[in-house]
A and B are shown apart, each in its own frame.
Chain A
Amino acid sequence: MIAIFLTVVLTENYVLCQFLGICPFLGVSKKLNTAVGMSVAVIFVMALATAATYPINKYLLVKNDLEYLQTIVFILVIAALVQFVEIILKKFIPSLYNALGIYLPLITTNCAVLGVVLLNVESGYNFAQSIVNSVGAGVGFLIAMVMFAGVRERLEGNDIPKALQGFPITLISASLVSLSFQGFSGIVENIFG
């Protein structure tokens, strides 16, 4: 369990090593507080989506040999879930909605959420392992976002060649952050192996 968690947070970080959820990583990481808000919403939705899709996959799709419908079913479940969470939060916990609400609609099309659900199925995790993996993926996302937001705040006001301004320099800094994460490779195997 701990091995799964650490692997997905550090060595197989979804953003920096598996390229899932790059859009919000580049789009929302400009400021620290928005980066944290988005990441918390992602952790929340990932855990919920996994909890919802696991039984659907096991007891509906696999039982009836309908695995080929996974993509359609999962994306619809995620979309409906996000909408549902948004409505519930708006109605009952407005303070939380104000903090996370604006990030929720963006999460439906976040490939990290669909990615984590599909990868859970592919890896053959059981329910508890799936949840741990999802939360870990979300925490990894949070770490990547927070680190990168820090890097980007440093970038502002620097004198950057014109062609590199904007996305190109952002991507190059992402490359360096990702390079540092490569240093974690093998660490989990060494601790638990």
Chain B
Amino acid sequence: MAEKKSLGKEFSKGIIRENPVLRLVLGTCPTLAVSVAVTNAIGMGIAATLVLVCSNVVISALRKIIPSKIRIPAYIVVIASFVTIVQMLVKAFVPALNDALGVYLPLIVVNCIILGRAEAYAGKNPVGASFFDGLGMGVGFTFALIVMATIREIIGSGTFLEGIDSLTALFGATSFTGFKLLENPIGVMVMAPGGFLVFGLVMALANKVAEGRGKPKAELKGCDACPMAHSCSLHGTEESCENKEKEESAS
């Protein structure tokens, strides 16, 4: 199936049609945690995209060598290596971002998007297609992060692009340090409840848009409802939660 699609399609599907955050509901933890400020969202998006593209390419290149039984640990080693590299780069060049992202930077390792794409796509498809799949998914992730962060930062902190100079300093520009928009921001939006709320509303909007185009919405049922199904070793076997549920409802 992959051979028939053009590489451009591999790339663009991740941005809207199969947006990892809004449509596939993957990688929710970093999305909620990092989307308090647009600068953090951009930084996290770039870091995750780098890891996603690199690990997709390497896993795809090794797909015939890795035995299927130990593929999950093998994927994790590949992903963890790239995360460590990215972590060191961020620490060295953008220390402010490293402080802002904190523990979520190393936690890219367990970001379901990356392992999910490795399992669902890169492990089965050629290197070129996997590269564009990773890039598209990464851009889609960044896009969703920026959308959420924009809403939360403007309402919650009353600023926009605050602290962006820590990123642009890499290119020698430090004069622009963000806008100040509101005098009395609603602080709860940058706290945990605001994160859940904005995420829910943005996802509802994405569903609405997709529905208008006749695309089915994300369903909550059995293994499909489980964001971890891709990395679950019982997925599709008799012992899976899906079948357990069926057994329970039958009895």
Contacts and interface: CB of A to CB of B under 8 A. Distances in A.
A111 B241 CA distance: 20
A129 interface: no
Contact of A122 (B81, B103, B239): B103
A21 B29 contact: yes
A182 B193 contact: yes
Contact of B207 (A16, A102, A163): A163
Interface residues of B, number: 58
Contact of A106 (B28, B81, B220, B232): B232
Interface in A4-22: 16-22
Nearest to A70: B106
B25 A167 contact: yes
Interface in B98-138: 102-103, 106-107, 109-112, 115
Interface in B30-89: 30, 32-33, 72-73, 76-77, 80-81, 83-84, 87-88
Interface in A24-41: 24, 26-28, 30, 34
Interface in B195-251: 195-197, 199-201, 203-205, 207-208, 211, 217-220, 225-228, 231-234, 239-241, 244
List 3 tightest A-B contacts by C-beta distance, closest first.
A171-B200, A175-B196, A168-B204
Interface of B: 25, 28-30, 32-33, 72-73, 76-77, 80-81, 83-84, 87-88, 102-103, 106-107, 109-112, 115, 188, 191-197, 199-201, 203-205, 207-208, 211, 217-220, 225-228, 231-234, 239-241, 244
